[in-house]
Structure 1
Amino acid sequence: MEQPSIYMQIKKAIIVIIGAFLSAAAMNLFLIPANVYASGFTGLAQLISTIVSTYTPLQLSTGLLLVLLNIPVIILGWRKVGKSFTVYSFLSVMITSFFLTIIPVKPLSEDILLNAVFGGVIAAVGIGLTLKWGASTGGLDIIAMILSRMKDRPIGNYFFIMNSVIILTAGQLFGWEKALYTLVALYATTRVVDAVHTRHTKLTAMIITSKTEELKNAIYEKLERGITVLPAKGAFSGQQREMLMVVITRYELFNLERILKEVDPSAFTNVVETTRIYGFFRRE
């Protein structure tokens, strides 16, 4: 059991590195040269770097600012979200910062619309791959998850509010045309992340299995989610089994898939979108 686990951890780290490279390439080859801003803490670091270089004689690296902004968030995420998720998210931040440093800031096109669209799409592929493998690009993802758990509101609300601050600030300081192109980049990013990963913040997994106790224990241990057990019977075979119903966030989908492969690869699982939840969601 340990060898596959080590293999999966290495594979996950490689995916995170690829995602970080794509995000950094989108920034340095498309978004930064066009003064179009990314979403989340990457866009915030980019905005602060631009403000400092415009209004002071100092030059601050976007990559360095990205790391500095994420340090307190990573500490908070370690305590509130989960150790594995936070470790890989911090790895993503560090590798992204490294690639931002070594990839030259050189535009591949002079067309601002092309830069906004392709920068948004390439960054989204990197973000989507990272999310699909159970990590995040740090910063805004972690803050939004913590706030969502405190208030039990959709994560998308917090993304919208925080990204709106970046767009409005950029528009006020550097012109509304750049802000509008930033909206184009954010829209492209959102659509592609939805396609690569999943656009639904919360998901419901219905698992029909013959290994109910083993799956329950594994889910409790790794996801800390409440589970409802329902009786199930095969219409054709007549076999009696049980169905586990569990609601998870999209960030936990990767870990659930790994649990199913390790504990019961033959389990039939249906994952559907969850539009709203009433009552307690997280089992503390």
Structure 2
Amino acid sequence: MITRNSTLFKEIQKVLIIVLSTFIMAIGLNMFLIPANVFANGATGIAQILAALFPFSTGIFLFLINIPIAVLGWYKVGKLFTFYSFLHVALTTFFLEIVPVEALSEDILLNGVFGGVITAVGAAVPLKWGASAGGLDIVALVLARVSDRPVGTYFFILNGIIVMTAGLLFDWESALYTLLALYVSSRVIDTIHTRHVKVTAMIVTKQPDILREAIHKHITRGITRIPAKGGYDYSEKEVLMIVITRYELFALKEVIEEVDPEAFTNIVNTAGIFGLFRKDD
């Protein structure tokens, strides 16, 4: 069982991971994307555009944009998830003010590619620890919950607006390199965590009753129980199949490690689902 001290240690680990990832993101922005006039995805890209139009820094605009988003996420997504996401935003703002805006290269292509990679690392690592970089992730998730459209649709629309705005307000070369940076960052996030909004977890366990109860205490999703038998030792087992969002993947992993560390879990990207998928917490 997880003790109070081990839980506290995990929370400290999470905070340290967020601090490191925000510093990495600030480097990607201030030393690659911002000097090259290439825009990041989500709220960070919006903050960059506003900073180019008004006499305030990207960090200040990023913080201001995320205040109403944090309030929305607090009530609609989850308090702990929103707290760590806003902490990520606040620390990113802090490091954006500390790290100097200075290009390491004059090549806009190199800036777009490396900026996309570095900022993606800063955004993807917190996802593995139950947080996010805030911003449009939370907005898209809330919009998906109040409509029948998938989260990916809103990511596409919101980031498409950023690209079009960059082209109209500045130049279309910036818009094209922004598209490149968005593509690179999405591939990196897919490698480190997952860009798919929904995933299917198939958990092979000898303790299905205990594990099912523990999962339902943390994640409000339906579970399908499938009888199974070990191919090597012929022991009786069950496969618990559950479809979750990428934001719930960290919580599921923690529950499995706590209740049945010997369980075998296979995570499969889910392209689409039919039938009931509970949207509310």
* TM-score (normalised: structure 1): 0.94
After TM superposition, list the pairs within 5 Å mapping 1:40-59 onto structure 2: 40-52=42-54, 59=55
Rounded to whole Å, the distance in 1 between the matches of 2:235 and 2:183 is 48
Match of 2:98 in 1: 102
Rounded to whole Å, the distance in 1 between the matches of 2:196 and 2:61 is 30
Structure 2 gap segments, 5+ residues each: none
After TM superposition, list the pairs within 5 Å mapping 1:176-191 onto structure 2: 176-191=172-187
Match of 2:257 in 1: 261
After TM superposition, list the pairs within 5 Å mapping 1:125-140 onto structure 2: 125-140=121-136
Rounded to whole Å, the distance in 1 between the matches of 2:135 and 2:149 is 18
Match of 1:272 in 2: 268
Rounded to whole Å, the distance in 2 between the matches of 1:80 and 1:226 is 20
Give secondary structure in 1 for the equivalent of 2:275: coil
Rounded to whole Å, the distance in 2 between the matches of 1:25 and 1:152 is 38
Give secondary structure in 1 for the equivalent of 2:201: strand
Q: 1:12-36, CA deviations, whole angstroms, 9 ceiling, x for partnerless residues?
A: 1111111111111111111111111
Structure 1 gap segments, 5+ residues each: 53-58
Deviating more after overlay: 4-13 vs 39-48 = 4-13
Give secondary structure in 2 for the equivalent of 1:92: helix
Compared with structure 1, are the counterparts of its residues 246 and 152 closer, same or farther at alpha carbon in structure 2 (3 Å cutoff)? Answer: farther
After TM superposition, list the pairs within 5 Å mapping 1:42-191 onto structure 2: 42-52=44-54, 59-191=55-187
Rounded to whole Å, the distance in 2 between the matches of 1:71 and 1:48 is 16
Give secondary structure in 2 for the equivalent of 1:12: helix
Q: Percent of pairs identical after alignment?
A: 55
Query: Deviation at 1:155?
Result: 2.0
Q: 1:88-112, CA deviations, whole angstroms, 9 ceiling, x for partnerless residues?
A: 1011000000000111111111111
Q: 1:216-267, CA deviations, whole angstroms, 9 ceiling, x for partnerless residues?
A: 2221121211112222222332322222111111121111111111111011
Query: Deviation at 1:67?
Result: 1.0
Structure 1 ranges of 4+ moved more than 4 A: none
Match of 1:14 among 9, 13, 16: 16
Query: Deviation at 1:152?
Result: 4.3
- The residue type paired with residue 239 of structure 1 is S
